[in-house]
Each structure stands twice: as C-alpha cells, then as structure tokens.
Amino acid sequence: MKKFLVISVLFIVSVFLFSRCYMLNRYIYTDAELEEHYQNLAVKPCYKDCQFLQRQTHYAVLSKSDTLPLLVMIHGAPGAWYGYMNLTDDSTLQKHFKIIAIDRLGYGKSGYGKEELSVQVQALAVKNIIDKENTHHKKVYLLGRSYGAPIAAWLAINYPQNVEKLMMVSPVIDPDKEKFYWFSDIGNSSLVQWALPDLLNVATKEKFSHQKEMKLMVSQWKRLYVPTYVITGDDDMIADTANYSFAKRHIVNCPAVFMKLKHTGHVVTKEQPEIVKQLLLDNTCCQQISEFIDKDLPSEITYHGFSPAIDKTLTAGKIPNADSQGNPADSHKQ
C-alpha cells in the first residue's frame, strides 16, 4: 500500500511538472527565441519599460516612423506582447502605425506572476505607455483580445478624445457569461497552483475576479462614443459567444460594427489576420466592407450608426485587389 501511494504521488508530480514545462514552452518565448525570430527581419522590436504605481510595464515598439499614429495591442489571459507577433511583424501595419505591443501587468516582463485584477489599473498602466510614446499627439488605435478587450474599452470610454478606433476581438465582457469549466476550481487550489507556471496562475486569478470587474463596467458601455469594431468567432470554445450579443445590446451610442465569423475560434487575430488588418486600416466605417470580405462562407455582420453599402452574406479571408505596388485598388489603403 505504501509503495502504491509513493508511486501515485510521483506520477501526479510528474504529470504536473510535464504540464508546467509544456505550458511554458507553449506560451513563453525566450529572449534567444525572439532574437532568432527577428534576426533577418527589417523591423525589429525596440523593448522598453515604463513605471506605473511602483510596477514595471514592459512593451515592444515596432514601427518605421515615430510620427505614425499608435496602434496599441493588449493581450488576454494568459499572454504576452508576442501573442500578436503575426500582426506586429506585418509590413503594411508597420507602414501605417507605430505599433505598441504590451506585456500586461502580471505577464511577460511586467511583474511576471504578480497579478493585477483591476481592469482600471491595467488600463491606466497602458495609458501611461501611450502618454510616453504618443509624442506627436495623434489619436490612438486600440486593439484588445479576450480579457484585453475590456481594458482597451475602458480606455476608449474614459479617454474618447484620444482614441480613433476601438477593436475588441473575442471580447469577454458579459458578467453573466463568464465561462467556468469542471477543472476551474481545481486550478484555483494552492496545491495545483504550486505545480503550474505563474502565467496560468495569474490567468486563473483574473478569471475568478473578472465577473466582478465586468459588473463594474456594465453601466459604462453607454458612454462608449468611439467608433468600435467587435469581432468574434462562431466556434469560440473559450469565450461564450453570448458576449457578442451582450456587445450588441450595450454598445449603442457609437458607430459600431459587429462581426461573427464562421469556422473561426477564439484567437481571431491568428485565424483571420487579414480581416483584423483590413478593419484596422479601414477609414470608411466599413461602408465598403464587401470589397475585402470573401463571400464563400457566411458571417453575421451587424451595424449601427451608419448605413454601409454591403452584401448581407459575407465572410473572412479575402484581401482587396492590389496594384503593382501592393496597394489596394480601393479606399482601404494598406
């Protein structure tokens, strides 16, 4: 019996250690791996740190010019700045934006492992970076994914004069639809947290406080006046798709586009990067969206605040026709 218990304990510890190594390898890039990735790329990240409330916020800047408007990317939970790497490395976005990709408080090199559960504090830490980097005082483009979406929205709600566009991708914003799993409580126990990497423990703590944070924001959505894009995947298995309906009900006082993409999961920025890219570059409030959305697969698209000329059945994945210099032949300039 004693031998069986010892073997069982060793097995459990081995599983946890394997899980820890697997998760670290999946979610975390080492400095050496990042250096290798950017070795032959023309635009390399410039790493910076910013102090906020006696905490350090780490971020990467990728751009071809300091005079361009800021595009600020805020990741979910868990995550790091390089979770947006396919977009930060995009030469077209680099040509149009000074890209700022942030390690949120508690992740990456922003106090790794020390959680910050307040959406407001997370948002103000991002604003601190914006104030430092927006040297030409142009309106900012905000992109937030998953748990990063309400952080971006908080900034847009409270500083609308500084924001050009808000894009929320797979937002988790409905306080009544926070998605818990059978293992959620297990992951919140101290024994299991001991064996898991810190980024997952921070994400778990955020998850158990997120519902309360979103309840605080319910009354604030009516004060969102910035042009807003909400994009979700119809096959999202992480965030409840009811968040999409919540957004349509509560975001009512600004020009807004709501897109639910078929055959797309939670990480829309990786599964449908061209859609995200074109919407960031769009300056027509999607009035010509049919020119860069493929029609082969249906997507639900809803608007308010304007009357776009658009086909009713659209989908993701198609790029506009380009000229010989690689520029689109329509008004959606890359």
CATH code for the domain of 241: 3.40.50.1820
Classify residue 135: in a domain, yes or no.
yes
How confident is the model at residue 322, as a pLDDT?
A: 32
- Using pLDDT thresholds of 50, 70 and 90, give the confidence band for residue 187: low
Tokens 């968040």 correspond to 243
Q: Where is pLDDT greater, at 289 or 309?
A: 289
- For the segment 223-227, the average pLDDT, to the nearest whole number, is 96
What string of DSSP letters covers 9-30?
HHHHHHHHHHHHHHHHHHH---
Classify residue 332: in a domain, yes or no.
no
Classify residue 37: in a domain, yes or no.
no
Provide the β-strand partners of residue 169.
145, 231
How confident is the model at residue 8, as a pLDDT?
A: 42
- For the segment 78-96, the average pLDDT, to the nearest whole number, is 96
Tokens 């329509």 correspond to 330
Number of domains in the chain: 1
Classify residue 77: in a domain, yes or no.
yes
Number of neighbouring beta carbons within 10 Å of residue 118: 16
Closest to 156 (Cα-Cα) out of 234, 72, 236:
72
- Using pLDDT thresholds of 50, 70 and 90, give the confidence band for residue 143: very high
Burial class (CB in 10 A: 0-12, 13-18, 19+), 51: exposed
pLDDT tops 80 at residue 250: yes
How confident is the model at residue 194, as a pLDDT?
A: 63
> Taking each helix axis from N to C terminus, what angle separates 119-133 and 198-217, rounded to the nearest 10 degrees?
100
Classify residue 30: in a domain, yes or no.
no
pLDDT tops 70 at residue 24: no
Domain that holds residue 294: 43-304
Classify residue 329: in a domain, yes or no.
no
pLDDT tops 70 at residue 218: yes
pLDDT tops 50 at residue 301: yes
pLDDT tops 60 at residue 304: yes
Range list of H helices, the chain: 2-27, 31-38, 85-88, 91-96, 119-133, 148-158, 184-187, 190-195, 198-217, 242-250, 268-271, 273-281
Classify residue 26: in a domain, yes or no.
no
Can you tell me the distance from the alpha carbon of 128 to that of 51, in angstroms, rounded to the nearest whole number?
8
pLDDT tops 70 at residue 327: no
Classify residue 22: in a domain, yes or no.
no
How confident is the model at residue 300, as a pLDDT?
A: 83
